Chains A and B, each alone.
Chain A
Amino acid sequence: MLAAGDNPNPLLPPGYDIFWSAVCFVLVGLLFWKFVLPIFQRVLDERTDKIEGGIARAEKAQQEAKETLEQYQAQLAEARAEAARIRDDARAEGDQIIEEMRTRAQEESARIVAQGQAQLDAQRAQIVAELRADLGRMSIDLASRVIGESLEDEARRRGTVDRFLDELDSVSAPASK
């Protein structure tokens, strides 16, 4: 065992201890300052970039999707409006066609009715004329037979018959109307 006097004081550093400690410190310091930490920082920054870039890309994609959706919805609304417009047009056109046809049909029916009326009037006039002639002759025949002689005087005869028929007309006309 060393004598007590030979024991160095552990708190008093020998020169070589300080020297080599400083050398080691400088080496380790340079290692971290110049090599380790720049790489570490670069990797960390790259990682941050990557994550932030990923988030930005996701946001962009979402934005694009939203825009596309809006575009589709706008197109859909436009198409709906178009369809509604076409339907309205068709309905209006249909209404117009129906209206036209109704008008035409009414005109046609009015024409037919008018034609029928005219025909009827003509027939009636014809029948009345015929009946009037027939009735005159038959009345004269009847009267001749009743009185047993034929009336000679044409003029008298015609006047009598006309007077009779006028009386007949004035009696029957209100009844026929």
Chain B
Amino acid sequence: MLAAVLAAGDGEGFHAPGIEEFYPGALLFEGTIFEINRIMLVRFVMVALLALFFILALRRAKLVPRGLQNVAEYFLDFVRLHIAEEILGKGAARRFLPILTTFFFMITALNLAGVIPLLNIAGTSLIGTPLVLAIVAWIVFNYAGIKAQGFGPYMKSNLLPSGVPLYMAPIIVPVEFVSTFILRPFALTVRLLANMMAGHLILVLFFSATNFMFVEAGSALLAPVGVLTLGAGFAFTLFEILVAVLQAYIFTLLAAVYIDLASHAEH
């Protein structure tokens, strides 16, 4: 089928979306650290919408919630009860709730941009945001561990778990070091980034294919295929909404788990 499509396209042909999707042209300050392109604008829009939503919802917060306040409290309670308190317990949950809530809502908002018409790309599909958030998570869980145990005991409990014989140290210590201090933030970053990149590429693929079948191919034979790709694109849009929230949940949950692991010597 693809061969047929490419053959039918003759001159230009069909362009499968590639990595260039994530590097649109600069709009402002090109070449500087302040460069603003389309994806940066999407991030700003989503941050503004997130702020607008919570300001409207909680501007006149009442004891008995109504309307938007109900919705906002529902989501906030989700993070508070099902992530923070479930993993960390009530006491630590209160300390780390601001950072966990920030993770969850920032990732959800930027992820959802991928399925919002006109924005159409997730703010997290470029490595910067996942990386910044993972680095913050890394700083927070190490801070929690050092605060709870002290620097020496914290490093020891992470690098050489109790019960491991000393002659194993040359193997265990590097493995544990890489796994705890490098792979954890790396996995957090890549899991989120790859999910959002892949989601975006799939959606672009289906919708650009639909456009190609209906408009550019100029053949009535390909129209039914266009219907198929349109349906698939719609289905994947719904799936991307799920993925958007799920990835935010996973990132926040893992951050909470890392904080919890760091706060307790034995694990």
Contact = CB atoms under 8 A, between A and B. Distances in A.
Interface of A: 1-2, 6-8, 10-22, 24-25, 27-29, 31-33, 35-37, 39-40, 42-43, 46-47, 50
B43 A24 contact: yes
Given A37-B97, A50-B63, A29 B102 contact: yes
Contact of B47 (A17, A24, A39): A24
Given A39-B58, A39-B61, A13 B127 contact: yes
A11 to B, nearest CB: 6
B18 A40 contact: no
Contacts of A50: 63
A25 B18 contact: no
Question: SS class of chain A's interface: helix, strand, loop or mixed?
Answer: helix
Contact of B55 (A12, A16, A27, A35): A35
B47 A28 contact: yes
B127 A16 contact: no
B267 interface: no
B53 to A, nearest CB: 10
Interface stretch (B30-38, B166-174, B175-183, B254-262): B30-38
Interface string B14-29: 0100111011000001
Q: Which of A1, A2, A36 lies at the interface centre, i.e. has the most chain B CB atoms within 10 A of its CB?
A: A36
Interface stretch (B128-136, B149-157, B226-234): B128-136
B36 to A, nearest CB: 7
Contacts, number: 124
A31 B99 CA distance: 11
Interface residues of B, number: 50
A22 B133 CA distance: 8
20 contacts: A10-B19, A12-B127, A21-B131, A24-B110, A25-B102, A27-B51, A28-B50, A28-B51, A28-B109, A29-B106, A31-B51, A31-B54, A35-B55, A37-B76, A37-B98, A37-B101, A39-B61, A40-B61, A42-B61, A43-B62
A16 B36 contact: yes
B51 A17 contact: no
Contact of B128 (A8, A21, A27, A43): A21
B129 A25 contact: yes
Nearest to B19: A7
B102 A18 contact: no
Give 5 nearest A-B pairs by CB, closest first: A17-B128, A21-B128, A16-B35, A21-B129, A33-B98
